Amino acid sequence: MINFSRSLEPNNTMVIPTPFHERSFAANRRGHWTSWAGYTIADEYTHADLEYFAVRNQCGVFDLTPMIKYHISGVDAEAYLNKLFTRDIRKIKASQVAYVLFCNESGYTLDDGTLFKFSNSEYIFCSQDRHLPWLLDSAIGFDVEIKDRTDKIAALAVQGPTSAAILKRMGLDGIENLPPFQMQSFQYQRDDLIVSRTGFTGDLGYELWIDPYLAIKLWDDLFTCGQNYGIEPFGSKALEMLRIEAGFILPHKDFLPANHVIRVNRGRTPFELGYGRLVDFDKGFFNGRQALLKAQQNGPRYQLVGLEIDGNKPAYDAWIYQNKRKNVGTITSAMWSPSCKTNIALAWLDANAKTDNLWVDIYTNKELKWHKNMVSCKVVKRPFFNPARRNAVPALDF
C-alpha cells in the first residue's frame, strides 16, 4: 500500500498516483501494483486470468494515464511530423489516429506510438518512452511547439465486446459508428471527452481521454453504466496477455529504443520489425531516411515473427534452433493463449533463417526438478487472435 497523503515531490515518493488512483486502489483486492513511467498502476486487481477474460468476454477498464503524451502544435506541425516519422503524415486526415514509427539517423527505431490528428496544426503523439530531446532537436527550424501533456490528460482504455454498448449507455450517441483508428469528441460535463477507437488488446475497444479533474467522475459513470455488461478493471498483467495475443510489439521487451542501445547493432530497423509499409521514401527527407534506404538495399538482418509452439509450456526467454542444432533466434514474449488454446510467442529470427524445422528449448520446473524440452514450433501470421468484432462498423453491442 502506498501512502499518497504527503506531497508528491520526488523526495517524498518514488511513484505518483494517477487521477484514478482512489478508485483503482479501492478495486485492487489483490494489492499488486507496478510502476509505469513513474506512476503506480494496478498489476493485478483480482486475478490476471479473470481480468483477461473480462476483456475478451465483456469489458475491461485499464488506467492508461502513464502513456507519454506530447502535444504538438503550430503552423509547421504537419511538415515537422513528416520529417520526424517514417510514414507520410500528409495522408493522415483530421480525427484519424495513425500508428507511427520514428528512427534515429542510423535507421534504428526510437519508438512506435499513435498520432492523434486534430488538425494540420495540432496533434498528440502517444508513446511508451520519453523522447522530448529528440522531438525538440528535430523541431529546429519549424514553427511548432511541443509540450509534454502526460500529467494533464487522464486516460482509460475501455476494451472488450460490450465496450461500445457501455459507452452508448453513458450517453455517447453514435459511438457505434466510430470506425477503428478514428476519434470523436463528446461533451462531458462542461468539458471535452475524446474517444478513440484504439487499444492494445486486439479486440473491440476504445480509449478515453479527459481532463484529470473529471477522472473519478468518468470512472464512476463507466462502472455504473457497465454494471449489467460485466465491466471489470484490469491490470498490466492481463494487458500483457492481451497485447501478445494481438501481436503488438512492446519497446524494451520486443525491441530496444535506439537511444537506449549501448551495444552496437542491438537497434532494429522498421523493416526488421515488420513495419516496412510504414516507411515512405516518396515523401522527401525524414529522420533516418539515408540509413533506411541503405538498410532496405542490404535487406533486414533479423525478422520479428509470431510463433506457435507445441505443448502448453510458455517458451519464456528461449533460444530458437534450426533442426534442433543451429541457433537462429530468441523468444522475446511468450504465453499460453487462453483464447486460441495455443502456446504462442513473439520472436527474433535471423533474416536468412529457414522457417521450417524450427525448435525451441523450454525449461520446465517439475517439483523443483528441471526438465529441458526441445519443442517444435512454426511461424504464423499475427495477430494470433483477431475477432471479427474488432473492426465491425457499426460496433456490435456484445
Partner 1 sequence: MNNYDAIVIGAGHNGLVNACYLARADLKTLVLERNPYIGGASVTRELYPGFSYTNCSYVCSLFRPEIFRQLELSRHGLQVIPYDGGCTFTQDGNYLATYNDHEAQRREFARFSARDAEAYDDYATDVMRHCRFIKPWLLRTPPDPVSRKAKDIKGLWQLYKDLQVLTEAQIYDTLEFYTISCGDYLNRYFESDVIKGHISNSSIIGTGLGPYSPGSAYVLLHHYMGEVDGRIGSWGVARGGMGAIANALASSFKASQGEIKTDCSVENLIVKEGKAVGVALENGDEYYADTIVSNLDVKRTFLKVVDKQHLPQDFVTQVQQFKIRGSSGKLNIALDGMPTFPALPEGSTAIRGHVNIIDSMERLERGYDDWKNGTWSKDPFVDLLIPTQTDPTMVPPGKQMMSVFVQYAPPVLNTGEWTEEDKQAFGQTVIDAIAQYSPDFKDLILHAEIRTPQDIENEAGLTQGNIFHGELTLDQLLFNRPIPGYAQYRSPIPGFYMCGSSTHPGGGVMGAPGANAAREILADKRMTV
**Rounded Cα–Cα distance for residues 148 and 125 (Å):** 10
Instruction: State the DSSP H helix or E strand holding residue 217, giving kind and residue range, or none if neither.
Output: helix 215-225
**Rounded Cα–Cα distance for residues 33 and 17 (Å):** 11
C-alpha cell belonging to residue 32: 499488486
Instruction: Pick the closer one to partner 1 by CB: 51 or 112.
Output: 112
Instruction: Pick the closer one to partner 1 by CB: 265 or 391.
Output: 265
**Rounded Cα–Cα distance for residues 280 and 82 (Å):** 10
Instruction: Pick the closer one to partner 1 by CB: 36 or 186.
Output: 36
Q: How far apart are CB 134 and partner 1 at their closest, in Å? A: 8
Q: How far apart are CB 10 and partner 1 at their closest, in Å? A: 4
Instruction: Pick the closer one to partner 1 by CB: 21 or 131.
Output: 131
Q: How far apart are CB 14 and partner 1 at their closest, in Å? A: 4
The answer to whether 363 and 374 have CB atoms below 8 angstroms apart is: no
Instruction: Pick the closer one to partner 1 by CB: 10 or 369.
Output: 10
CB atoms within 10 A of CB 323: 11
Q: How far apart are CB 146 and partner 1 at their closest, in Å? A: 10
Instruction: Pick the closer one to partner 1 by CB: 94 or 136.
Output: 136
CB atoms within 10 A of CB 187: 10
Instruction: Pick the closer one to partner 1 by CB: 17 or 38.
Output: 38
**Rounded Cα–Cα distance for residues 184 and 188 (Å):** 12
Instruction: State the DSSP H helix or E strand holding residue 208, giving kind and residue range, or none if neither.
Output: strand 205-210
Instruction: Pick the closer one to partner 1 by CB: 131 or 169.
Output: 131
Q: How far apart are CB 133 and partner 1 at their closest, in Å? A: 4
Q: Could you tell me the end-to-end alpha-carbon distance of the chain, in angstroms, rounded to an integer?
A: 36
The answer to whether 132 and 110 have CB atoms below 8 angstroms apart is: no
Q: How far apart are CB 257 and partner 1 at their closest, in Å? A: 9
CB atoms within 10 A of CB 372: 8
Q: How far apart are CB 16 and partner 1 at their closest, in Å? A: 8
Q: Residue 128: which residues within 8 A CB-CB, separation 6 or more?
A: 37, 67, 68, 111, 112, 113, 250, 251, 252
Q: Specify the amino acid at residue 240.
A: E
Q: Residue ranges of the alpha helices (H) in 247-373? A: 289-298
Q: How far apart are CB 259 and partner 1 at their closest, in Å? A: 5
Instruction: Pick the closer one to partner 1 by CB: 13 or 121.
Output: 13
DSSP state of 396: P
255, burial (CB in 10 Å: exposed 0-12, middle 13-18, buried 19+):
buried
Give φ, ψ of 296 to 5 degrees: -65, -40
Instruction: Pick the closer one to partner 1 by CB: 148 or 176.
Output: 148
The answer to whether 198 and 181 have CB atoms below 8 angstroms apart is: yes
Q: Which residues bind partner 1 (CB under 8 A)?
A: 7, 9-16, 35, 37-38, 106, 130-133, 136, 148, 259-264
Q: How far apart are CB 370 and partner 1 at their closest, in Å? A: 25
Q: How far apart are CB 69 and partner 1 at their closest, in Å? A: 13
Of 163, 227, 223, the closest CA to residue 195 belongs to 163
